[in-house]
Structure 1
Amino acid sequence: MKNNTNTKLILLHPYIQKQGNSNRLWLLAFMSLFTLAFLLTIVYTSGLYAYSSTSTTTTTTIPAATITATNTAAPQLPTTVINTLLHYASKSNDTFKMPYADIKPISDALRKCSTPCNFLIFGLTHETLLWKALNNNGRTVYIDENRYYAAYMEEKHPEIDAYDVQYTTKVKETKELIAVAKEQIRNECRPVQNLLFSECKLGINDLPNHVYEVEWDVILVDGPRGGWPDAPGRVMPIFTSGVLARSKKGGNGKTHVFVHDIGGTEVRVAGNEFLCRENLVEATETMGHYVLERMDESSFQFCGNRTTSSSSAAKKSSASSSSASS
């Protein structure tokens, strides 16, 4: 018999066995972590989907009528709060404050709005924050001649929506300006028009476009400055208010226009010319309250009683001539 000299003895060192076990343990740990992460991802994603579905279902099940009512409702301030605001605003020590008799009619007009009220104000004054508070949940826009003060008020009170405008008129030019407007009453200075495209010298046409698209329910003219010949006066805002009110398309067709400091000559003359005496419903020594109705686009007279007055005068003149001839 031959001895097999090629026979080899292989011994496994204990270190090699330990290393294999270690690798398997690491592999097992890695697979466990991966499985756990995968399960957590599935659970989290399912939770988000369930939450999203619930939210979507809740939103889409709200009746359309309820949504409409929510958007159009105009929650009013409690009467006690309104009265308190009016009281303290009129009792302020500010020299330029409005008296209670002037503030109260404006507050009443705002409360009569059945939907959120659109309130346009010419002039940033002592009552600026009061108007914003009284027109709760409504749209309140301020127009002022001083761009720096308008920017300051917006920065100090972010809830204020103010724009500046450059007035090109002077108090001493009031009669000439009105005469020119009357000559152009069938062209650029019509009582019903979109002022954004108007070339009438008394029309304010450099405001943001959306200002001309709003159906204003209440307008207050409390600016710009007046009282001396070279002051801008209030002819432009009075004319503009008259056109905006008569060009109104929506709502109940009526606009309350308040003019402060109506005792001034140019303010009174402009008010009579473009807001009209027949529309004056109440007045104090310093405040005039007009209620204007929308007009047809074919109308070319600001005041309706002028034609009647002219006709009456013509009839009287004709009657007097007939009597004289007989």
Structure 2
Amino acid sequence: MHSLIPKSFHKKKHPNTPHSNNNPCYLYVIAITTAATILFLFYSRQTDPEHLCSTPALTTAQTIIADEFTATAIPLVTIFHYATARDVPQQSKGEIRRPFDVLQSLAPCNFLVFGIGHDALMWDSFNPRGITLFLEEDRKWTISSLKRFPILRAHTVHYNTRLTEAQMLLSSYKKDCGAVAENDHPLKDDRKCRLALSELPKDVYDRDWDVVMIDAPRGYFASAPGRMAAIYSVAVMARARKKAGVTHVFLHDVDREVEKLYAKEFLCMKYRVGGIRKLWHFVIPPAVNVTDTTNGFC
């Protein structure tokens, strides 16, 4: 399995790791892009009420921005945040532009994002009046992010996998996965399948997601959970779509072997419509028989 893990462990840090990128030009691009598309929009959001463990106190600047959400139009606060933040989105301008264009063509829509990164407020602002939900592996980071940006919707997700198990899980999913009652969601309670996110909050299962961004969980060191379960579960959700249309799936870090291998197995290259740098874009239609995995997904 070590062959699937890059020797350098692809040192992409989790968003709560200090970040030194402070490029004013990049901040300017993000601010202008956000301003041009959402300045005239104002919408309210509900947040996850879970604040059960202690997190570091907000800085003075962070407190000012958090307080502004109750008094100022959200697009203006978003611009203010990125114009003054030291930490910037992890994806490049080109990688951001492709999902931005899709979101603008579909908004308001249902947008599911794996990971709360420094780009979370940006993604949320790109889907005005829609439902944007973040799934994050780190509970403390989730709570800290909701303190800073109380308009976000977010849940913490537990992953039952390790990156070193990627090859084994890929070899066994056809016999272990898909054994659920016909009237249930194909992921819910599928506990035999370790790739299935079977204990997600109800609101994840209750919606058809129009756009999904997979940029988490961590997958750059051996004991990390890896993105195997996220990729598999998103593929199942896309195949189980009930309403008209397709599911746009964006997978980041496809320069890594596990992401690339699982994308080919579950998201299917025949559904890939493009990509840029480390981001692939898939458009996945619903499937006739969602639970039949004996012949694979593609």
Does the 8 Å CA contact 2:178/2:186 hold for their aligned counterparts?
Answer: no
Matches within 5 A, 1:89-128: 94=87, 97-113=90-106, 116-128=108-120
Alpha-carbon distance between aligned partners in 1 of 2:258 and 2:179, rounded to the nearest angstrom? 24
Q: Match for residue 313 of structure 1?
A: none
Q: Which amino acid aligns with 1:151?
A: I
Matches within 5 A, 1:225-304: 225-252=218-245, 254-297=246-289, 299-300=292-293, 301-304=295-298
Does the 8 Å CA contact 1:193/1:243 hold for their aligned counterparts?
Answer: no
Q: Deviations over 1:256-312 (max 9, x none)?
A: 0000111111111111111011111112221011110000126534434xxxxxxxx
Larger Rg: 1
Does the 8 Å CA contact 1:193/1:297 hold for their aligned counterparts?
Answer: no
Q: Match for residue 36 of structure 2?
A: 81
Q: Match for residue 215 of structure 2?
A: 222
Alpha-carbon distance between aligned partners in 2 of 1:123 and 1:80, rounded to the nearest angstrom? 24
Matches within 5 A, 1:167-178: 167-178=159-170
Cα pair distance change 1:96/1:160, threshold 3 Å: closer
Consecutive unaligned residues of structure 1, counting only runs of 5 or more, are 1-77, 305-326
Does the 8 Å CA contact 1:255/1:293 hold for their aligned counterparts?
Answer: yes
Q: Which amino acid aligns with 2:149?
A: H
Does the 8 Å CA contact 1:170/1:233 hold for their aligned counterparts?
Answer: yes
The two structures have a TM-score, normalised by structure 2, of 0.68
Q: Deviation at 1:138?
A: 0.4
Alpha-carbon distance between aligned partners in 2 of 1:164 and 1:222, rounded to the nearest angstrom? 15
Does the 8 Å CA contact 1:171/1:229 hold for their aligned counterparts?
Answer: yes
Alpha-carbon distance between aligned partners in 2 of 1:180 and 1:212, rounded to the nearest angstrom? 24
Say how many residue pairs are matched: 222
Alpha-carbon distance between aligned partners in 2 of 1:208 and 1:83, rounded to the nearest angstrom? 29
Cα pair distance change 1:186/1:240, threshold 3 Å: closer
Q: Deviations over 1:117-164 (max 9, x none)?
A: 000000011110000100011000000000111112122222111100
> What SS is found at the alignment partner of 2:188?
helix
Bigger fraction of residues in helix: 1
Pick 1 or 2: higher relative contact order, CA cutoff 8 A, min separation 6.
Answer: 2
Match of 2:156 among 136, 151, 164: 164
Does the 8 Å CA contact 1:116/1:139 hold for their aligned counterparts?
Answer: yes
Alpha-carbon distance between aligned partners in 2 of 1:229 and 1:148, rounded to the nearest angstrom? 22
Q: Which amino acid aligns with 1:141?
A: L
Q: Deviation at 1:196?
A: 1.5
Q: Match for residue 195 of structure 2?
A: 202
**Where has structure 1 moved over 2 Å in runs of 4 or more?**
82-86, 92-96, 182-188, 297-304
Percent sequence identity is 29
What is the Cα-based RMSD across aligned positions, in Å? 2.9
Does the 8 Å CA contact 2:88/2:119 hold for their aligned counterparts?
Answer: no
Does the 8 Å CA contact 1:235/1:266 hold for their aligned counterparts?
Answer: yes
Consecutive unaligned residues of structure 2, counting only runs of 5 or more, are 1-32, 40-77
> What SS is found at the alignment partner of 1:291?
strand
> What SS is found at the alignment partner of 1:162?
strand
Q: Deviations over 1:25-54 (max 9, x none)?
A: xxxxxxxxxxxxxxxxxxxxxxxxxxxxxx
Does the 8 Å CA contact 1:101/1:284 hold for their aligned counterparts?
Answer: yes
Alpha-carbon distance between aligned partners in 1 of 2:269 and 2:238, rounded to the nearest angstrom? 15
Q: Which amino acid aligns with 2:263?
A: G
Matches within 5 A, 1:307-318: none
Cα pair distance change 1:159/1:94, threshold 3 Å: closer
Q: Deviation at 1:167?
A: 1.0
> What SS is found at the alignment partner of 1:195?
coil
Does the 8 Å CA contact 1:122/1:143 hold for their aligned counterparts?
Answer: yes
Q: Which amino acid aligns with 2:254?
A: I
Alpha-carbon distance between aligned partners in 2 of 1:83 and 1:210, rounded to the nearest angstrom? 26
Alpha-carbon distance between aligned partners in 2 of 1:185 and 1:120, rounded to the nearest angstrom? 23
Q: Which amino acid aligns with 2:189?
A: F
Q: Which amino acid aligns with 1:303?
A: F
Q: Which amino acid aligns with 1:223?
A: A
Does the 8 Å CA contact 1:225/1:234 hold for their aligned counterparts?
Answer: yes
Alpha-carbon distance between aligned partners in 1 of 2:257 and 2:175, rounded to the nearest angstrom? 22
Q: Match for residue 42 of structure 1?
A: none
Does the 8 Å CA contact 1:89/1:127 hold for their aligned counterparts?
Answer: no
Does the 8 Å CA contact 2:112/2:209 hold for their aligned counterparts?
Answer: yes
Q: Deviation at 1:95?
A: 7.2
Q: Which amino acid aligns with 1:108?
A: D
Alpha-carbon distance between aligned partners in 2 of 1:127 and 1:139, rounded to the nearest angstrom? 16
